[in-house]
Amino acid sequence: MIEVADVFRRFAPDYLAAHGASMLPSHQRAIADILACRTEALGGHLWRCDQCSAERFSYHSCKNRSCPKCHADQTERWLHARRAEMLPSRYFHVTVTVPEELREVLRANQRDGYAILMKAAAEAIIELARDPRHVGGTVGVLAVLHTWTQQLAFHPHVHCLVTGGGVSEDGSLWHPARNDFIVPVKALAKLVRGKLRAAFAARRPDLVLPEAAWSKPWVVHCTAWGEGQQAVLDYLARYVFRVAITNARIVGLDDQAVTIRHKHRKSNRWRTSRIPGHEFMRRFLQHVLPKGLHKVRYFGLWHPARREQAARARLLLQLDRPATAR
């Protein structure tokens, strides 16, 4: 199997020679880590089985979260503790995409921009769901930031897993959402846009945002997303334990270029594209997040400050279920 590390081994020396001086430290770090991951550069461990004395040597991992070999491991460990807090409810999946006009502002201001985007998306969902015409309670939102398309273009968007119901203000009642509806998407798109604009004005008054971003409708999708723990696990696997590209999607490598496969949206078929080596590196690196930035965040009922309410909601939901469904 060809790995991102193999691509870097071939093209990184030249790429660094050409662009190294102007590159972000986080990007240089990602290259160095991915190159060293599970090689002798990081050393290793000799494992011996107590029973049969068989020995196996394994190299250490780089633990960089942009590394396709390390990312899933790390995220999984981090989220493991949170699984117990997930609710046995139905779920919805909401995706919010930033219009093209705002992409460069986000690229240049990732730390503030990504935080504002995730918060605006989650708070808009929570605010609309509180309306008694929709849910009438506080829903939980697990938001995850993606910055890519299948071909690694820069395309920031947020995936939100939303509980299909919410707790009343005093925490004593669970209000379930309807089967196939949680909030109206057009109203949601407008509200996200307004919240994002206000948040940028408050937090970064120095930035001039293009007017065109506020006059066009934003792209928001909402679908029903399964039920219970399995729904949460599916969501985590599909959206949270992800980096821009998996090694499995790299299908060719030669002296000039990398060939990757990607799913064509309209036909839903796999296609391949050949990307020149340096262009692949540039595209890959634009998805390396600033150090310490949380790409997974909890809001509403899942906000850490509401843990008690979430625990009560879980109890309400369990009591609510018919005995056979337990």
259: Cβ–Cβ under 8 A, 6 or more apart, which residues? 250, 251, 252, 253, 272, 273, 274, 275
* CB nearer to Zn ion: pick between 37 and 199: 37
The Cα 40–Cα 37 span in angstroms is: 9
Q: Are 294 and 283 in contact (CB under 8 A)?
A: no
Cα–Cα distance measured from residue 318 to residue 320, given in angstroms and rounded to the nearest whole number:
5
Q: Are 63 and 74 in contact (CB under 8 A)?
A: yes
- Binding to Zn ion, residues 115-154 (CB under 5 A): 146
CB 163 within 8 A of CB 140: yes
Instruction: Give which of 82, 121, 85, 74 is closest to 241, Cα–Cα.
Output: 74
Alpha-helix runs per DSSP H in 137-287: 185-203, 212-215, 228-235, 277-285
**Whole-angstrom distance, CA of residue 115 vs CA of residue 134:** 26
**Between 155 and 312, CB nearer to Zn ion:** 155
Comparing CB distances to Zn ion, the nearer of 4 and 86 is 4
Q: How far is the CB of 294 from Zn ion (least distance, A)?
A: 17
Nearer to Zn ion, 130 or 146 (CB): 146
| Residue 37 touching Zn ion (CB under 5 A) | yes
Nearest approach in angstroms of CB 94 to Zn ion is 12
Q: CB of residue 62 vs Zn ion: minimum separation in angstroms?
A: 3
Region of 37-45, 112-120, 248-256, 311-319 interacting with Zn ion (CB under 5 A): 37-45
- The three-state secondary structure class of 47 is strand
Restricting to residues 51-90, which ones interact with Zn ion according to CB under 5 A?
Answer: 61-62, 67, 69-70
Closest CB to Zn ion among residues 58, 172: 58
As measured in angstroms, the least distance from the Cβ of 169 to Zn ion is: 33
**Between 106 and 317, whose beta carbon lies closer to Zn ion?**
106
Using CB under 5 A as the binding criterion, the count of chain residues that bind Zn ion stands at: 7
Indicate the residue among 147 and 309 with the shorter CB distance to Zn ion: 147
Q: In whole angstroms, give the CA distance from residue 85 to residue 307.
A: 8
Residue type (1 letter), 258 = V
Q: Nearest distance from residue 92's CB to Zn ion, in Å?
A: 16
Least separation in angstroms between CB 72 and Zn ion: 11
8 Å CB contact between 281 and 143: no
Place of tokens 């219009």: 99
Q: Residue 89 or 97: which CB sits closer to Zn ion?
A: 97
Give the integer Cα–Cα distance in Å for 177 and 90: 8
State the minimum distance, in angstroms, from the CB of residue 88 to Zn ion. 26
Min dist CB 50 to Zn ion, Å, is 28
Q: What three-state secondary structure class fits 258?
A: strand
Instruction: Write out the residues near Zn ion by the rule CB under 5 A.
Output: 37, 61-62, 67, 69-70, 146
